[in-house]
Amino acid sequence: MLKFYYSGAPNPTKVALFLEESGLPYEPIPVDTRKGDQHKPDYLAINPNAKVPAIIDGDAVVFDSNAILLYLAEKTGKFLPANNPKARGELLSWLMFVASGVGPYSGQSVHFRNYAPEKMPYAINRYAFEARRHFGILDAHLAKRHFMLGDTYTIVDMDVWGWARLIPNVLGEGAWEHFKNLKRLVDEISARPAAQRAVALKDKHKFKTEMDSEALHAMFPHLKEKVA
Protein backbone atom coordinates (compact mmCIF):
# COMPACT_ATOMS: atom_id res chain seq x y z
CA MET A 1 0.00 0.00 0.00
CA LEU A 2 1.14 3.55 -0.71
CA LYS A 3 2.96 5.02 2.28
CA PHE A 4 2.27 8.71 3.02
CA TYR A 5 4.83 10.46 5.25
CA TYR A 6 3.10 13.45 6.70
CA SER A 7 2.38 15.96 9.45
CA GLY A 8 -0.54 18.37 9.87
CA ALA A 9 1.35 21.19 8.09
CA PRO A 10 0.11 22.81 4.85
CA ASN A 11 2.22 20.92 2.29
CA PRO A 12 1.32 17.43 3.54
CA THR A 13 -2.33 18.42 3.92
CA LYS A 14 -2.76 19.16 0.21
CA VAL A 15 -1.48 15.64 -0.57
CA ALA A 16 -3.84 14.23 2.07
CA LEU A 17 -6.64 16.03 0.20
CA PHE A 18 -5.71 14.28 -3.05
CA LEU A 19 -5.50 10.89 -1.35
CA GLU A 20 -8.89 11.38 0.29
CA GLU A 21 -10.50 12.73 -2.89
CA SER A 22 -9.18 9.91 -5.06
CA GLY A 23 -9.92 7.07 -2.67
CA LEU A 24 -6.45 5.59 -3.22
CA PRO A 25 -5.67 3.28 -0.28
CA TYR A 26 -2.74 4.65 1.73
CA GLU A 27 -0.97 4.22 5.03
CA PRO A 28 -0.33 7.54 6.81
CA ILE A 29 3.05 7.54 8.57
CA PRO A 30 3.64 10.43 10.99
CA VAL A 31 6.86 12.44 10.75
CA ASP A 32 6.95 14.58 13.87
CA THR A 33 8.96 17.57 12.66
CA ARG A 34 8.87 19.21 16.11
CA LYS A 35 10.74 16.18 17.47
CA GLY A 36 13.24 16.10 14.58
CA ASP A 37 11.94 12.94 12.81
CA GLN A 38 12.66 14.64 9.45
CA HIS A 39 16.43 14.50 10.15
CA LYS A 40 16.59 10.77 10.95
CA PRO A 41 18.65 8.72 8.45
CA ASP A 42 15.69 6.46 7.57
CA TYR A 43 13.61 9.46 6.58
CA LEU A 44 16.47 11.27 4.80
CA ALA A 45 16.77 8.19 2.56
CA ILE A 46 13.19 8.96 1.44
CA ASN A 47 13.41 12.75 1.35
CA PRO A 48 16.95 14.14 1.44
CA ASN A 49 15.41 17.60 1.89
CA ALA A 50 14.25 16.67 5.44
CA LYS A 51 10.71 18.00 4.93
CA VAL A 52 7.22 16.56 4.68
CA PRO A 53 5.44 15.27 2.65
CA ALA A 54 6.88 12.26 0.84
CA ILE A 55 5.35 9.06 -0.49
CA ILE A 56 6.55 5.57 -1.32
CA ASP A 57 4.48 3.84 -3.98
CA GLY A 58 5.98 0.47 -4.90
CA ASP A 59 9.50 1.29 -6.06
CA ALA A 60 8.65 4.97 -6.65
CA VAL A 61 9.76 7.43 -3.98
CA VAL A 62 8.42 10.96 -4.44
CA PHE A 63 9.03 14.04 -2.30
CA ASP A 64 7.76 17.64 -2.54
CA SER A 65 4.00 18.20 -2.37
CA ASN A 66 3.81 19.57 -5.91
CA ALA A 67 5.69 16.63 -7.43
CA ILE A 68 3.51 14.22 -5.43
CA LEU A 69 0.27 15.85 -6.63
CA LEU A 70 1.40 15.58 -10.25
CA TYR A 71 2.64 12.00 -9.77
CA LEU A 72 -0.62 10.86 -8.17
CA ALA A 73 -2.80 12.66 -10.71
CA GLU A 74 -0.88 11.05 -13.59
CA LYS A 75 -0.94 7.65 -11.88
CA THR A 76 -4.72 7.70 -11.34
CA GLY A 77 -5.76 9.90 -14.27
CA LYS A 78 -7.81 11.91 -11.75
CA PHE A 79 -8.04 15.66 -11.12
CA LEU A 80 -6.22 16.59 -14.32
CA PRO A 81 -7.42 19.04 -16.99
CA ALA A 82 -8.12 18.05 -20.60
CA ASN A 83 -5.27 16.20 -22.28
CA ASN A 84 -4.06 18.86 -24.72
CA PRO A 85 -1.01 21.15 -24.85
CA LYS A 86 -2.96 24.30 -23.90
CA ALA A 87 -4.44 22.75 -20.74
CA ARG A 88 -1.14 21.06 -19.83
CA GLY A 89 0.68 24.38 -20.19
CA GLU A 90 -1.76 25.98 -17.75
CA LEU A 91 -1.52 23.05 -15.36
CA LEU A 92 2.28 23.21 -15.20
CA SER A 93 2.40 27.01 -14.99
CA TRP A 94 0.06 27.21 -12.01
CA LEU A 95 1.60 24.22 -10.22
CA MET A 96 5.05 25.83 -10.50
CA PHE A 97 3.64 29.20 -9.47
CA VAL A 98 2.35 27.67 -6.24
CA ALA A 99 5.53 25.60 -5.74
CA SER A 100 8.01 28.42 -6.29
CA GLY A 101 6.00 31.43 -5.07
CA VAL A 102 2.91 30.88 -2.95
CA GLY A 103 4.45 28.16 -0.76
CA PRO A 104 7.88 29.68 -0.07
CA TYR A 105 6.66 33.26 0.45
CA SER A 106 3.80 32.13 2.69
CA GLY A 107 6.15 29.95 4.73
CA GLN A 108 8.68 32.76 5.18
CA SER A 109 5.92 35.23 6.04
CA VAL A 110 4.71 32.92 8.84
CA HIS A 111 8.30 32.41 9.96
CA PHE A 112 9.22 36.08 10.26
CA ARG A 113 5.85 37.05 11.79
CA ASN A 114 5.75 34.27 14.40
CA TYR A 115 9.04 32.46 14.90
CA ALA A 116 12.07 34.64 14.13
CA PRO A 117 13.85 35.44 17.41
CA GLU A 118 13.98 39.13 16.43
CA LYS A 119 11.09 41.13 14.93
CA MET A 120 12.61 42.41 11.69
CA PRO A 121 10.18 44.85 10.01
CA TYR A 122 12.04 44.64 6.67
CA ALA A 123 11.75 40.83 6.48
CA ILE A 124 8.17 40.79 7.78
CA ASN A 125 7.14 43.35 5.17
CA ARG A 126 9.09 41.76 2.31
CA TYR A 127 7.52 38.31 2.76
CA ALA A 128 4.04 39.55 3.58
CA PHE A 129 4.18 41.79 0.49
CA GLU A 130 5.22 38.91 -1.77
CA ALA A 131 2.71 36.46 -0.24
CA ARG A 132 -0.04 39.06 -0.66
CA ARG A 133 1.04 39.71 -4.26
CA HIS A 134 0.92 36.00 -5.10
CA PHE A 135 -2.50 35.51 -3.45
CA GLY A 136 -3.68 38.60 -5.33
CA ILE A 137 -2.70 36.98 -8.64
CA LEU A 138 -4.69 33.86 -7.71
CA ASP A 139 -7.65 36.00 -6.65
CA ALA A 140 -7.69 37.95 -9.93
CA HIS A 141 -7.44 34.69 -11.88
CA LEU A 142 -10.39 33.23 -9.96
CA ALA A 143 -12.54 36.28 -10.68
CA LYS A 144 -13.03 34.91 -14.19
CA ARG A 145 -13.26 31.13 -13.62
CA HIS A 146 -14.74 28.79 -11.05
CA PHE A 147 -11.64 26.65 -10.54
CA MET A 148 -8.01 27.51 -11.27
CA LEU A 149 -8.07 25.77 -14.67
CA GLY A 150 -11.68 26.56 -15.60
CA ASP A 151 -14.71 24.41 -14.88
CA THR A 152 -12.90 21.34 -13.56
CA TYR A 153 -11.59 20.72 -10.03
CA THR A 154 -7.91 19.73 -10.45
CA ILE A 155 -4.70 19.27 -8.48
CA VAL A 156 -4.00 22.99 -8.96
CA ASP A 157 -7.01 23.80 -6.76
CA MET A 158 -5.75 21.33 -4.15
CA ASP A 159 -2.29 22.90 -4.35
CA VAL A 160 -3.72 26.41 -3.88
CA TRP A 161 -6.00 25.29 -1.02
CA GLY A 162 -3.03 23.90 0.95
CA TRP A 163 -1.66 27.36 1.72
CA ALA A 164 -4.60 29.67 0.94
CA ARG A 165 -6.78 28.22 3.70
CA LEU A 166 -4.16 29.61 6.12
CA ILE A 167 -4.18 33.17 4.76
CA PRO A 168 -4.92 34.70 8.22
CA ASN A 169 -1.75 33.01 9.57
CA VAL A 170 0.28 34.25 6.61
CA LEU A 171 -1.04 37.83 6.39
CA GLY A 172 -2.94 38.46 9.63
CA GLU A 173 -6.57 38.55 10.69
CA GLY A 174 -8.78 40.41 8.24
CA ALA A 175 -6.66 39.48 5.22
CA TRP A 176 -9.53 37.54 3.61
CA GLU A 177 -11.14 40.90 2.92
CA HIS A 178 -8.75 41.32 -0.04
CA PHE A 179 -9.22 37.89 -1.61
CA LYS A 180 -12.96 37.31 -2.08
CA ASN A 181 -12.62 35.00 -5.11
CA LEU A 182 -9.92 32.94 -3.49
CA LYS A 183 -12.05 32.68 -0.33
CA ARG A 184 -14.91 31.32 -2.42
CA LEU A 185 -12.65 28.54 -3.75
CA VAL A 186 -11.12 27.76 -0.35
CA ASP A 187 -14.54 27.60 1.33
CA GLU A 188 -15.92 25.37 -1.39
CA ILE A 189 -12.99 22.93 -1.09
CA SER A 190 -12.93 23.04 2.73
CA ALA A 191 -16.60 22.02 2.77
CA ARG A 192 -15.86 18.83 0.83
CA PRO A 193 -15.88 15.67 3.00
CA ALA A 194 -12.44 14.73 1.60
CA ALA A 195 -10.99 18.05 2.78
CA GLN A 196 -12.45 17.55 6.24
CA ARG A 197 -10.88 14.08 6.39
CA ALA A 198 -7.55 15.50 5.14
CA VAL A 199 -7.49 18.16 7.88
CA ALA A 200 -8.53 15.61 10.54
CA LEU A 201 -5.86 13.10 9.50
CA LYS A 202 -3.29 14.50 11.95
CA ASP A 203 -5.59 13.56 14.85
CA LYS A 204 -4.93 9.88 14.10
CA HIS A 205 -1.42 10.30 15.49
CA LYS A 206 0.02 12.12 18.45
CA PHE A 207 2.16 14.99 17.15
CA LYS A 208 4.11 17.23 19.46
CA THR A 209 2.37 20.61 19.80
CA GLU A 210 4.83 22.59 21.94
CA MET A 211 7.13 24.96 20.06
CA ASP A 212 9.90 24.53 22.64
CA SER A 213 13.67 24.56 22.20
CA GLU A 214 13.71 20.98 20.78
CA ALA A 215 11.10 21.96 18.19
CA LEU A 216 12.81 25.24 17.26
CA HIS A 217 16.16 23.51 16.73
CA ALA A 218 14.60 20.66 14.72
CA MET A 219 12.71 22.98 12.39
CA PHE A 220 15.17 25.87 12.21
CA PRO A 221 18.65 24.29 12.19
CA HIS A 222 20.24 27.63 11.24
CA LEU A 223 19.69 28.70 14.87
CA LYS A 224 22.79 26.74 15.83
CA GLU A 225 24.95 27.43 12.78
CA LYS A 226 26.03 30.86 11.61
CA VAL A 227 26.74 30.83 7.86
CA ALA A 228 26.53 34.53 7.03
Ligand X SMILES: N[C@@H](CCC(=O)N[C@@H](CS)C(=O)NCC(=O)O)C(=O)O
How far is Cα 9 from Cα 51, in angstroms, rounded to an integer?
A: 10
Q: What angle do CA 218, 223, 226 make, to 5 degrees?
A: 135
202 binds ligand X (CB under 6 A): no
Q: Which is nearer to ligand X, 10 or 81 (CB)?
A: 10
Q: Of the candidates 20, 26, 51, 62, which one interacts with ligand X according to CB under 6 A?
A: 51
Question: What is the footprint of ligand X within residues 12-41 (CB under 6 A)?
Answer: 33, 38
Q: Of the candidates 8, 18, 21, 66, which one interacts with ligand X according to CB under 6 A?
A: 66
Contact 225, 50 (CB under 8 A): no
Q: Which is nearer to ligand X, 51 or 184 (CB)?
A: 51
How far is Cα 4 from Cα 89, in angstroms, rounded to an integer?
A: 28
The piece of 4-12, 76-84, 181-189, 196-204 that touches ligand X (CB under 6 A) is 4-12
b/e map 131-142, b = 16+ CB within 10 Å: bbebbeebbebb
Q: Which is nearer to ligand X, 51 or 132 (CB)?
A: 51
160 binds ligand X (CB under 6 A): no
DSSP 33-57: TTTTGGGSHHHHTT-TT--S-EEEE
Contact 52, 60 (CB under 8 A): no
Q: Which DSSP symbol is given to 121?
A: H
Shortest Cβ 152–ligand X spacing (Å):
23
The piece of 21-29, 45-53, 129-137, 191-199 that touches ligand X (CB under 6 A) is 45-53
Q: Which is nearer to ligand X, 11 or 109 (CB)?
A: 11
Q: Of the candidates 8, 11, 160, 183, which one interacts with ligand X according to CB under 6 A?
A: 11
Shortest Cβ 226–ligand X spacing (Å):
19
Question: What is the footprint of ligand X within residues 89-128 (CB under 6 A)?
Answer: 103, 107
Which of 151, 140, 111 lies closest to 128, judged by CA?
111
Q: Which is nearer to ligand X, 163 or 179 (CB)?
A: 163
Q: What angle do CA 40, 11, 148 make, to 5 degrees?
A: 160
Contact 165, 187 (CB under 8 A): no
Q: Which is nearer to ligand X, 96 or 140 (CB)?
A: 96
What residues line the site for ligand X (CB under 6 A)? Answer: 9-11, 33, 38, 51-53, 64-66, 103, 107, 219
